Amino acid sequence: MLQPSELVSRAKEYEKASKLYFKACKLDFADACNNLASLYDDALGVEKDDEVAFRYYNKACRLDSASGCKHLAYFYYHGIGTKKDKKLSKKELNKACKLGLKEACEIVRDFH
């Protein structure tokens, strides 16, 4: 089990990471946008914010991050940080599949 001091240390690391990811995302690094979205999605180093996470997953997907597209599809499917839209969810899953994410291919094959 982590000690309180270790928890504080990890929180500070996530906070630093969020700042670095933000800068890199502004420079259109897809993985940085995806990682920043994950921090907002999981409330690591930043306050949980589904709308901000959605925005960064969207940017990551536009920059051809397969993982970003898969997460974006999940957000569309469940209406997290945006309105539910199963059509857009399937579109983003297809993109993730085309970008080589096998998990997305399996999900889109079973899509309802």
- The pTM for the full model equals 0.90
Calculate the dihedral angle through the C-alpha atoms of 51, 79, 92, 48, rounding to the nearest 10 degrees: 30
Where in the chain are the domains? 4-109
What's the CATH class of domain 4-109? mainly alpha
Q: pLDDT value at position 111? A: 79
Q: What is the pLDDT of residues 43-86, one digit of tens each?
A: 999 999 999 999 999 999 999 999 999 999 999 999 999 999 99
Percent residues over pLDDT 70 in the chain: 91
Q: Residue 1, SS3?
A: coil
**Measured between alpha carbons, how far is residue 46 from residues 15, 43, 102 in Å?**
6, 5, 30
Specify the higher pLDDT residue, 11 or 86.
86
Of all residues in the chain, what percent are helix, strand and coil, respectively (each to 5)? 75, 0, 25
Mean pLDDT of 23-52: 96
